[in-house]
Amino acid sequence: MTTTNIDFKTQILEGIPNELPELKPYPTGANRVPKRKDILTTEEKKLAIRNALRYFPKKWHATLAPEFAHELREYGRIYMYRFQPNYEMYARPIGEYPAKSRHAAAIMLMIQNNLNPAVAQHPNELITYGGNGSVFQNWAQYRLTMQYLATMTDEQTLHMYSGHPLGLFPSSKDAPRVVVTNGMMIPNYSKPDDWERYNALGVTQYGQMTAGSYMYIGPQGIVHGTAITVMNAFRKKLEKGDTPQGKIFLTAGLGGMSGAQPKAGNIAGCITVAAEVNPKAARKRHEQGWVDELVENTDDLVARVRETQALKEVVSIAYIGNVVDVWECFDKEGIYVDIGSDQTSLHNPWSGGYYPVGMSYEAANELLSTNPDKFKKQVKASLQRHAAAVNRHTAQGTYFFDYGNAFLLESSRAGADVMAENGIDFRYPSYVQDILGPMCFDYGFGPFRWVCASGKSEDLDKTDAIALGVMQTIQATAPPEIQQQMADNIKWIKEAKANKLVVGSQARILYADAEGRMKIAEAFNIAVANRLLSAPVILGRDHHDVSGTDSPYRETSNIYDGSKFTADMAIHNVIGDSFRGATWVSIHNGGGVGWGEVMNGGFGLVLDGTPDAAKRLKAMLFYDVNNGIARRSWARNEEALFAIRREMERSPELRVTLPEIVEDGVIEGVV
Ligand SMILES: NC(=O)c1ccc[n+]([C@@H]2O[C@H](COP(=O)([O-])OP(=O)(O)OC[C@H]3O[C@@H](n4cnc5c(N)ncnc54)[C@H](O)[C@@H]3O)[C@@H](O)[C@H]2O)c1
């Protein structure tokens, strides 16, 4: 054992240290989170400091009170920077964690991966991605949670309230080791400003999806989902036998998730043009190899696009500038766009998520801080121009879809021409309505993922090979309805290693249905038991899946029976998974599209090679996927009806209420 290991273990077991740690300078070059809104009254600020101090012994209060007041004043939140541990933050091999429960050690590994500076967006503020997707609110919560995990047994459950470890409660070996909730609010208190207020008070947090549930695996998850989406968008648009080669996919954003678009476009085999108004973001993605070329003005862009079309190259081009300029310029120049979308951060339109056309990035930021009302007006005007240019392209045949970033919602609110004739729907579909919903989720295909707890890339290679074998066996007898999904995912897993997608823990993502997930998990468990794999495998998924998320403008946007504004599915999912064998479960308010707009849940399941794990994986994964398919079939979705009938045929203990389909003529004229 090395000294670093001893230090690490001692620090973990210590929790809140016995001696007040030194106040360290803020790490140079770190990506600090923007200052949050100053929303608390003076009395509330006192309450926030009182709340923060309850983690520490009385003797430190006089020292820490002014320090926390300073953090609140300067950054709008109390992160307790002083308590950030000294050891390096990354997912260690599972054996390096001090633990009485191996399952708890697996959770510690996942938490550290979410906070690894190579993985996390604002690691010093405990934020993994999405600007405010927190693992914890402050460093005291991190330290206490790690101490609880290190000391708990398999007869206890740790209950996490929005980053705060409420405590260890007696339970049983069959119960989850950890239950996580993030941002659960009384519904009336779920507006964006409520997050600002209660987060500043230190009583809740925005857990995003996989941030506060310890299941983030870096950009790989997004690349796969985006590649599936772009490939299927082309399939919707192209004649049978035609390929995306030489065809254009035009979009915007090279940020956290949006930065995956060029790589996904390359995997799909098209020409990707991604506009990015922030030169730093564009250059960073270029340096990282996520986008092939950089272009700084529309003349060069037009010339390069014409050239690459003639050569039928597979290439991705970043345009440094506003996307509206590209839509307008391509319209003027007669450049035909085959597929169009947008991934600016329109879930956050008034605070820098979307930059208005006609001004530089710097000028827009200046306006935002000096005159937010004028900035808002500019954004609205820009959205009107943006939508008008898109409309001119779609009139020529471009297939445009909303990428779950609220582009259509915010454009409609800005008065842009994006409504359908019925005045209720948008004139363009969302990517879930047209692509991921009917082609993936309704059949049960979703972002299944796993992490090799050994931390060894050889183990990941072995799991890739196992998953490939299982998928190929299933494909041999799969019905035509899911052949395309099987083929896409077999291709993905074959190429995954070469695509070099691992950042942080040794993780892999794959879209699979219930049968695929269960059979792959079973094969992994056997491989752990046989010591083909040197340590357990941790299973999980993105919340952006078949059953995990109720989100009316995204994951459940292809639910048309009126129930898309309910959240029963996500709640049942987390409760149902918890008593069927999940190692940990989580349920969040607000991931992906914003606080108050969505409920989403997830799980983690440790495959330790035991017969118990074999039992758990079957019970849990079966429910985890079929819950959503059942709900989608009740909403009359044809693909889900096919999938649930098929499942009932092979699983006699499953009995689902099926809808009777009413003929249109029966309803017409009745009301
Ligand atoms: N990738 C996915 O799988 C996925 C799925 C669902 C939703 N989304 C949504 O996509 C959006 C983007 O996510 P992100 O993590 O990349 O956010 P981000 O804020 O990191 O990136 C968005 C980028 O868009 C740029 N931008 C803003 N306005 C622009 C304009 N007018 N022209 C050109 N560039 C502009 C910004 O500079 C920024 O770099 C979010 O709303 C997210 O919820 C993504």
Tell me which residues of the chain have a pLDDT lower than 50: 1-4
Query: Distance (Å, rounded) from C-alpha 183 to C-alpha 64?
Result: 26
Q: Where are the alpha helices (DSSP H) in 480-634?
A: 483-495, 514-529, 568-580, 611-634
Pocket-testing residue among 31, 257, 386, ligand 1, by greatest number of atoms within 8 A of Cβ: 257
Predicted local confidence at residue 99, as pLDDT: 98
CA angle 469, 485, 576 (to 5 degrees): 85
Q: What is the largest CA-CA distance in the chain?
A: 80
Joined tokens for residue 119: 């993985």
Q: Where are the alpha helices (DSSP H) in 152-219?
A: 192-200
Torsion sign (Cα): 132, 136, 140, 142:
negative
CA of 141 to the centre of ligand 1 (A): 30
Torsion sign (Cα): 16, 22, 23, 28:
negative
CA of 278 to the centre of ligand 1 (A): 11
Which protein residue's CA is at the shortest distance from atom 7 of ligand 1? 404
CA of 566 to the centre of ligand 1 (A): 26
Task: Please name the helix (run of DSSP H) or strand (run of DSSP E) that holds residue 47, with its range, or none.
Answer: helix 42-53
Q: Are 349 and 382 in contact (CB under 8 A)?
A: no
Q: Are 447 and 509 in contact (CB under 8 A)?
A: yes
Which protein residue's CA is at the shortest distance from atom 20 of ligand 1? 255
Q: Which atom of ligand 1 is nearest to the CA of 386?
A: 31
Residue 330, by phi and psi: left (phi above 0), alpha (psi -120 to 50) or beta?
A: alpha
Pocket-testing residue among 344, 350, 361, 375, ligand 1, by greatest number of atoms within 8 A of Cβ: 344
Q: Indicate the residue type of 618.
A: K
Which protein residue's CA is at the shortest distance from atom 18 of ligand 1? 255
Predicted local confidence at residue 6, as pLDDT: 61
- Adjacent-strand bridge partners of 238: none
Counted residue by residue, the chain has a size of 671
CA of 250 to the centre of ligand 1 (A): 14
pTM, full prediction? 0.92
> What 3-state DSSP class applies to 406?
coil
Q: Are 196 and 37 in contact (CB under 8 A)?
A: yes
Residue 599 has phi, psi (to 5 degrees) of -120, 130
> What 3-state DSSP class applies to 466?
helix
Query: Distance (Å, rounded) from C-alpha 263 to C-alpha 250?
Result: 13
Q: Which atom of ligand 1 is nearest to the CA of 260?
A: 1
CA of 624 to the centre of ligand 1 (A): 29
* Cβ burial 121-149 (10 Å sphere, 16+ → b, else e): bbbbbbbbbbbbbbbbbbbbbbbbbbbbb
Torsion sign (Cα): 129, 131, 132, 138:
positive
Residue of 541, 546, 522 whose CA lies nearest to 619: 522
CA of 252 to the centre of ligand 1 (A): 7
Query: Distance (Å, rounded) from C-alpha 227 to C-alpha 633?
Result: 26
Residue of 224, 11, 1, 16 whose CA lies nearest to 112: 11
Q: Which atom of ligand 1 is nearest to the CA of 593?
A: 43
Pocket-testing residue among 217, 258, 441, 557, ligand 1, by greatest number of atoms within 8 A of Cβ: 258
Residue 101 has phi, psi (to 5 degrees) of -115, 125
Predicted local confidence at residue 551, as pLDDT: 95
pLDDT digits (tens, 9 = 90+) for 384-441: 999 999 999 999 999 999 998 889 999 999 999 999 999 888 999 999 999 999 999 9
Count other C-beta atoms under 10 Å from residue 649's C-beta.
Answer: 9
Query: Distance (Å, rounded) from C-alpha 48 to C-alpha 41?
Result: 10
Torsion sign (Cα): 623, 625, 627, 633:
negative
Which protein residue's CA is at the shortest distance from atom 27 of ligand 1? 354
CA of 343 to the centre of ligand 1 (A): 4
pLDDT digits (tens, 9 = 90+) for 107-117: 999 999 999 99
Q: Are 566 and 517 in contact (CB under 8 A)?
A: no
Q: Which atom of ligand 1 is nearest to the CA of 261?
A: 1
CA of 186 to the centre of ligand 1 (A): 29
Predicted local confidence at residue 31, as pLDDT: 82
CA of 356 to the centre of ligand 1 (A): 14
Q: Which atom of ligand 1 is nearest to the CA of 554?
A: 6
Q: Which atom of ligand 1 is nearest to the CA of 355?
A: 28
Look up residue 44 and give its DSSP letter: H
Residue 249 has phi, psi (to 5 degrees) of -115, 115
Which protein residue's CA is at the shortest distance from atom 39 of ligand 1? 255
CA of 101 to the centre of ligand 1 (A): 40
Which protein residue's CA is at the shortest distance from atom 3 of ligand 1? 222
Q: Which residues does a 6 A CB cutoff place in the pocket of ligand 1?
A: 130, 222, 225-226, 252-258, 260, 275-278, 281, 322-323, 343-347, 353-355, 403-405, 592
Cα separations in angstroms, 537 against 221, 450, 455 = 17, 7, 10
Q: Are 584 and 591 in contact (CB under 8 A)?
A: no
- Adjacent-strand bridge partners of 419: 426
Q: Which atom of ligand 1 is nearest to the CA of 323?
A: 32
Pocket-testing residue among 327, 345, 360, 405, ligand 1, by greatest number of atoms within 8 A of Cβ: 345
CA of 415 to the centre of ligand 1 (A): 21
Predicted local confidence at residue 399, as pLDDT: 97
CA of 345 to the centre of ligand 1 (A): 4
Q: Which atom of ligand 1 is nearest to the CA of 348?
A: 41
Pocket-testing residue among 209, 343, 365, ligand 1, by greatest number of atoms within 8 A of Cβ: 343
Query: Distance (Å, rounded) from C-alpha 595 to C-alpha 212?
Result: 14
Q: Which atom of ligand 1 is nearest to the CA of 357?
A: 31
- Beta strand 599-607 with 549-550 is antiparallel
Predicted local confidence at residue 1, as pLDDT: 40
Joined tokens for residue 146: 């790690």
Query: Distance (Å, rounded) from C-alpha 503 to C-alpha 499?
Result: 12
Q: Are 612 and 570 in contact (CB under 8 A)?
A: no
Residue of 457, 353, 495, 453 whose CA lies nearest to 410: 353
CA of 344 to the centre of ligand 1 (A): 3
Which protein residue's CA is at the shortest distance from atom 42 of ligand 1? 405
Torsion sign (Cα): 546, 549, 551, 552:
positive
Which protein residue's CA is at the shortest distance from atom 37 of ligand 1? 278
Which protein residue's CA is at the shortest distance from atom 5 of ligand 1? 404
